Amino acid sequence: MTIVGTGSGRRTGRQDGVVQFQQVGDLELESGSVLPEVTLAYETWGRLAEDGGNAVLVMHALTGDTHVAHGFAGEDAPELTREAAEAPGWWEGLIGPGAAIDTDKYFVVCPNIVGGCYGSTGPSTPAPASADPERRPWGSRFPLVTIRDTVHAEARLADALGIDSWFLVLGGSMGGGRAAEWAVTHPERVRHCAVVASGPAATAEQLAWGQTQSLAIRQDPHYAGGDYYGGTFPVDGLGLARRIAHITYRSDTELHYRFGRHPQGEEDPAGPLAARRGRYRVESYLDHQASKLAGRFDANSYLVVNEALMSHDITRGRGTLREALARTGCGWVIVAVDSDRLFYPKESEALAEALPEPVEVRHVSSPNGHDGFLLETSQLSKILRDCVPGL
């Protein structure tokens, strides 16, 4: 994705779905390191009310970006900016004029996670002169940034935008983890929190899958320890990481019905050489997913946000899950996808049951597995309208 922005600082005119930038200063990390001179990229939709009470924070998943829905950049904007603004977003239909999150009423903000590659400071960002006079990309020097760290950065963005508290904090998958972390880290700044297809902490299995994805990238000879920016990018490793992840995002049922054991086109999976046989259709599908991601995402960013997901644990340093959640005072919406086999519905149950005022988990029905959280926007819209007074 080409990042087309309108400059930094607080927004003055309404430009929905246009990337903007905010300096949030040096970020002290949980590890004790400091990431200097951090920028957050973000997009907004709608207008912030005078009392600042109508703000909604939407947070993306692992390889997501700031473009949660289409918008408009205005007639005077450059063509590329207009096109980028008008492109459909990754939660199209959930957010917009008249949608469940109605941008005629609410002011929606969607920031890019720290470490990402959609405008926020990440491993491909040139290090500031204070850290590297040559201003080379961070690369291998980029620190581990936890979900909690990124929430701290986002709190500064809220400060800069004049938002004391969010009417609603909402995210799916890793974005759901970020939403939960927001509610626990800044309970006084979150009035409703919607956690979709996510849990209170990355599970052992997610750590295991996470390791395989990181290794897929690190073992690519072009990875060069993370400092590949002057050379060939480790697209094969990134593609393999994506394939592994993508299988966990879907369901075996879907793969069976869409692809079965069919060969891809005229290719012959039967050989004759094991090393050079044709592909099954499901392999072609994974190849497509891999090259799509490799064409739009930075491998180091993948590593860093993958590590962030692995770091996710709202209980870290806060006792039991119940104790960690005791400090929260928001209304909670917990949503699980029934066929999810990466963020199991039982993780959603664990979160819902440990709340100060336990809620019932709402289920999105989907044959697709985890990605149902992105696909089933109608169901999700209905759940949000049912559960969040005012929507």
Region of 4-12, 26-34, 180-188, 379-387 interacting with its own copies (CB under 8 A): 26-34
Assess 201 for contact with its own copies (CB under 8 A): yes
119 versus 234: smaller Cβ distance to its own copies: 234
Q: Taking CB under 8 A as the rule, does residue 269 contact its own copies? A: yes
Of the candidate residues 193, 304, 333, 354, the single one contacting its own copies (CB under 8 A) = 304
Query: Is 371 annotated to bind ligand?
Result: yes
Q: State which of residues 30, 267, 349, 353 lies at the interface with its own copies (CB under 8 A).
A: 30
User: Counting contacts by CB under 8 A, is residue 118 touching its own copies?
Assistant: no
Looking at residue 193, its amino acid is C
Q: How far apart are CA 337 and CA 93, in angstroms?
A: 18
Tokens read off for 263: 């060969």
Tell me the three-class secondary structure of 337-377, residue by residue: ECCCCCCCHHHHHHHHHCCCCCCCCEEECCCCHHHHHHHCH
Tell whether residue 224 is a contact of its own copies (CB under 8 A). Answer: no
CB under 8 Å to 362, separation ≥6 — which residues? 333, 334, 335, 336, 383, 386, 387
Under the criterion CB under 8 A, does residue 157 sit at the interface with its own copies?
Answer: no
136: annotated binding-site residue?
Answer: no
208 binding its own copies? (CB under 8 A): yes
Q: Which of 244, 326, 359, 375 binds its own copies (CB under 8 A)?
A: 244
- Output DSSP code: residue 98: T
Taking CB under 8 A as the rule, which mask of x and - marks residues 86-115 in contact with its own copies? Answer: -----------------------------x
Regarding 274 and contact with its own copies (CB under 8 A), the answer is yes
Among 21, 72, 233, 280, binds its own copies (CB under 8 A): 280
Residue 189 DSSP SS3: helix
End-to-end CA distance of the chain: 31
Identified binder of its own copies from the candidate list 29, 157, 293, 294, rule CB under 8 A: 29
Q: Quick check: 158 binds its own copies (CB under 8 A)? A: no
Active site residue 340: yes
Side chain identity at 238, as an amino acid letter?
A: L
Both tokens assigned to 248 = 């966990």
Task: Return phi, psi of residue 57, to 5°.
Answer: -105, 120
- Please say if 370 is a catalytic residue: yes
Stretch that binds its own copies, among 53-61, 214-222, 331-339, 352-360 (CB under 8 A): 214-222
In the complex, the smallest distance separating the C-beta of residue 244 from its own copies, rounded to whole angstroms, is 5
For 214, the enclosing helix (H) or strand (E) is helix 204-218
Q: Does 267 bind its own copies (CB under 8 A)?
A: no
Q: How far is CA 209 from CA 157, 165, 241, in A?
A: 32, 35, 9
Which H or E element spans position 310? helix 299-311
Choose the catalytic residue: 173, 198, 311, 348.
173
How far is C-alpha 43 from the chain's CA centre?
14
Rounded Cα gap, residues 228 and 267, in angstroms: 34
351 in contact with its own copies (CB under 8 A): no
Asked if residues 165 and 155 have their Cβ atoms less than 8 Å apart, the reply is no
Lookup result for tokens 């992105």: 374
CA-based radius of gyration for the chain: 21
Concerning whether 173 is annotated as a catalytic residue, the answer is yes
Strands 5-8 and 19-28: parallel
Least separation, in Å, of the C-beta of 349 and its own copies?
Answer: 14
Could you tell me whether strands 19-28 and 34-45 are parallel, antiparallel, or unpaired per DSSP bridges? antiparallel
Instruction: Based on the shown chain and the rule CB under 8 A, indicate whether residue 231 belongs to the binding site for its own copies.
Output: no
Q: Which residues are catalytic?
A: 173, 340, 370
Annotated binding site for substrate: 242, 371
Interacting residue ranges for its own copies, rule: CB under 8 A? 29-33, 115, 123, 140-146, 201-205, 207-209, 211-212, 215-216, 218-221, 225-226, 236-237, 240, 243-244, 247, 252, 255-256, 258-261, 269-275, 277, 280, 282-283, 286, 303-304, 307, 310-311, 313, 341, 344
